Amino acid sequence: MFIGSLRMVESWSFAQNFRGVESILSSYRALGSGILFSYPEIATIAGVQGLIIYALSSALPLLIFGFLGPKIRKRCPEGFVLTEWTRQRYGAVTALYLSIMTLITLFLYMVAELSAMQQIINALTGLDGLPAIIVQGVVTTIYTSLGGFKVSFLTDNIQAAMVLLLIMVGIITVGVETKIDKSLVDPSGLLDSSLLGWQLIYIFPVAIFTNAFFISGFWLRTFASRTDADLRIGTTIACVVVAIILTFVGTTGLLATWSGAWNPETDPYTGYLSFFLLLGQMPAWVVGIVLCMVVSLSTAAFDSFQSAMVSTGSNDIFRNKLGLWWIRAAVVVIIVPVVVVALKSPDILQIYLISDLVSAALIPVLVLGLWNRFYWWRGFEVVVGGLGGIFTVFLFGLVYFDGDARKAGNLIILEGGLYANDWSAFGAFVAAPIGGLLWAFAAFGTRVAVLYVLSRTRGRRFNVFDRPVHTVSFAHQDRDDDQSFVGREQVAGDGKAGKFF
């Protein structure tokens, strides 16, 4: 993910104090302009019930880093992102596999961001959004290549400021200008519970909690925090603030429906535009201000994804043995298909769900290695389980759609999004993690059988289930008085650290 070392990260001001404002700013790295589409869309599909579930499911994963972060930091004190712990725990093959999945996730995030950008330009100005996203791609590539981390961190702060300003302007102008038609409230059904709303209680926590593990900015700050207490305080503050912001953004979907700005009868599948349809009723000066802020927000998010992709390729895949400019050139080439796919992907929520499905299959089998009782868990199980989870979604689709392979394949990319009004999306998010775990345990059984046969044929001792003990060193601040200390801990776990098979 990001290049360098923890020592480099600690040189930045945000690493010196994880409390307060900086902890909140760090949480905004994943909040690009796509939130202006996905959260209002959920409100138009599943009403208040769906919106609350979505907002909480997006904010609560930040608490994961306060809980799991100290555990991973203790096991991998020299690390700075999840990939480093994965390499230490499961070996280079599994780390490479995680890096590839991370690149896929970043690709989808970039697609979502550019797709959102071109739709915003079109919705607010009526102009073609293609020139705008090309300019955005070129400009961000230039300044991230020249400025590196410094520019990315600076734009993160700008991004946070734009989110706050956007919320303030939106609350004031919508509150003053929007006229609610009370006759539209009850017929909309958005205050009632629904089948999808109940399904989302499972879908979103699984989807977003697991996908949060791929967000390198969160891990970067997890490893860089001064103390475990600072980490927990920071993630708690960020969780509350993000939940409030996302709820406000999503509420525009409700207001657009109840004000008549968006008509579900005539345009049932365009709820993702409800924020901008509502904005279209505002004065022109408000539209202009919002457009400027949204462009800044989108640009800041996009350059973070670019930096993360460059760093993933350089550090995680090529281990800093390939020139950085070659990696940056490769990312520039990748932006071309990103633009092409973005122009054909109007549903931002669907793009997010695809990346969520990938993480739902991979992360459960990966984090089992944090449990000391799973000292025998290896990278082979993680890789087979992750890929098997995705394949299980296809198998579920074959059963659900009566053997229709095309529909089963489309279920992997959730072609119908959340509009299908059936159990297909719910089943996919059940099949991915459970199928992944089943495949992983099957892989474990296969590995044990192979190693048993080899040990018998070669006359060696069968030691797969021997509990290894190894000593790890750790050095960080973990006290309320901020005093540093160094220690060594006996960890029952990965005595043969980094072993794949």
Consecutive sets of 10 residues in the chain, 501 residues long: mean pLDDT of each? 33 38 43 83 94 92 81 72 84 91 90 89 85 87 73 69 76 83 91 93 92 74 77 86 90 93 86 87 84 82 84 83 85 89 83 92 92 90 96 96 93 86 92 97 95 90 75 43 39 53 84
- Single-letter residue type at 445: G
Euclidean distance between CA atoms 381 and 418, whole angstroms: 31
pLDDT of residue 4: 34
pLDDT of residue 199: 94
Euclidean distance between CA atoms 391 and 472, whole angstroms: 37
Reported as a single tens digit per residue, the pLDDT across 103-159 is 998 899 999 889 988 888 888 888 888 888 888 888 888 887 776 666 766 766 776
Nearest-Å Rg of the Cα atoms of the chain is 23
Distances (CA, A) of 251 to 43, 76, 128, 318: 7, 41, 28, 44
Q: Which CATH superfamily is domain 6-372 in?
A: Sodium/glucose cotransporter (1.20.1730.10)
Euclidean distance between CA atoms 214 and 27, whole angstroms: 14
Asked if residue 347 lies in contact with residue 112, where contact means CB atoms within 8 angstroms, the answer is: no
pLDDT of residue 480: 41
Reported as a single tens digit per residue, the pLDDT across 263-289 is 888 888 888 889 888 888 888 888 888
Distances (CA, A) of 37 to 179, 275, 287: 21, 7, 16
Euclidean distance between CA atoms 407 and 393, whole angstroms: 11
Q: Is the sign of the CA dihedral 312, 233, 296, 123 positive or negative?
A: positive
Question: What spatial distance separates the first Cα and last Cα of the chain, rounded to whole Å?
Answer: 25
Count, residues in the chain? 501
Distances (CA, A) of 262 to 39, 167, 230, 271, 344: 15, 20, 44, 7, 22
Q: Tell me, what DSSP letter sits at residue 213? A: G
Q: Tell me, what DSSP letter sits at residue 148? A: T
Q: Which residue has the tokens 């907002």?
A: 55
Domain boundaries, the chain: 6-372
Structure tokens at 422: 């059936």
pLDDT of residue 453: 93
What's the pTM value of the predicted model, to 2 decimals? 0.82
Euclidean distance between CA atoms 287 and 402, whole angstroms: 48
Q: Is the sign of the CA dihedral 138, 143, 149, 151 positive or negative?
A: negative
pLDDT of residue 197: 92
